[in-house]
Amino acid sequence: MKIKTIGIVGVGNMGSAILRGILKKKLFRPSRILAYDVISAKASSLAKELKIHSAKSAAEIAAKSDLILLAVKPQNLPETAAALKSQFKKNPAIITILAGVPVKTIKKHFGSKAIVVRAMPNLGATVGESFTAITGDKALLPVAGKIFSSCGEVMVFPESRFHAVTALSGSGPAYYFFLMELAMIEALKRGFSAGEAVRLAKQTAKGAAILAAGSQLDPAVLRAQVTSKGGTTEAALGVLFDNKFPALFSKAIDAAVKRGEQLGKAVS
């Protein structure tokens, strides 16, 4: 596909992160990028900072873009689609990051001839370290792969796995942040200052993440290497296993998957 211009609808955390990745990797020249947000000041400020164009409406994005990246909330899809369709080209190319919303629903709102890729990145995109799953029309997958590779790692999955991907990876950073938060709370309870608690939690998480990312070993093997027989780590993990932490985590992921399904049905 020949794509010379890209329009981004929704420049919140994810939309702006993807945009910065695109610019960093020079996939599109700033003059070929348009941004729109219902909060016009947000789009205008970002456009001024990055030297891209700020669109006055979603319709302007549709009229001037070869490819549209939808980065709005799922519940805003109907009104966003209605605004875009008024100026759409015959076979619009669309990349969507709407959680829970399948390709067939996007095509229902934009027309069966729309060329669609569904993507699920995560907040790691803000530092170029997202994991993004993509699926959809083969003609657009290579373009989507390049775009999301600009802000992390990309894998193609069948759409049947997307609720699980959303629960495990899309929402995933929050689980790791929560573990850091709990570590900080425990540090504070034990007399550490707030600054010390933050450094302890963040650096420990950073070291573990870098170690895991750079190792060929399975995380379970890495965990076992840290867990000396009769040691402190074994004592702590024993409590987690005795209290069925793995089962509790599985239940949490089930809840996230169910919510993703509900979000998708709400805009069908």
How is the chain split into domains, by residue range? 6-162, 172-263
Judge residue 59's burial from the number of C-beta atoms within 10 Å of its C-beta, 0-12 exposed, 13-18 middle, 19 or more buried. middle
* Contact residues for 5 (Cβ-Cβ < 8 A; gap 6+): 28, 32, 33, 34, 64, 65, 66, 67
Q: In what order do the strands lie in the sheet containing 115-120?
A: 53-54, 33-36, 6-9, 67-70, 93-96, 115-120, 130-136, 152-156
Q: What is the pLDDT of residue 85?
A: 86
Place of tokens 């369709």: 85
Q: Residues 56-71: pLDDT tens digits? A: 999 999 999 999 999 9
Amino acid letter, residue 90: K
pLDDT at residue number 91: 81
Give CATH for domain 172-263: 1.10.3730.10
Residue 248 and residue 214: Cα distance in Å, rounded?
29
The domains spanning 6-162 and 172-263 adopt the same CATH topology: no
Q: What is the DSSP string of 238-261?
A: HHHHHTTHHHHHHHHHHHHHHHHH
For the chain, where are the E strands, in sequence order?
A: 6-9, 33-36, 53-54, 67-70, 93-96, 115-120, 130-136, 152-156
User: What is residue 230's predicted lDDT score, i.e. its pLDDT?
Assistant: 97
Q: What is the pLDDT of residue 266?
A: 86
Pick the closest to residue 60 from 51, 52, 68 (CA basis).
68
DSSP assignment string, 55-69: PSSHHHHHHH-SEEE
Can you tell me the distance from the alpha carbon of 142 to that of 139, in angstroms, rounded to the nearest whole number?
7
Question: Which CATH superfamily groups domain 6-162?
Answer: NAD(P)-binding Rossmann-like Domain (3.40.50.720)
Q: Which amino acid is at 73?
A: K
pLDDT for residue 6: 96
Residues of the chain with pLDDT under 70: none
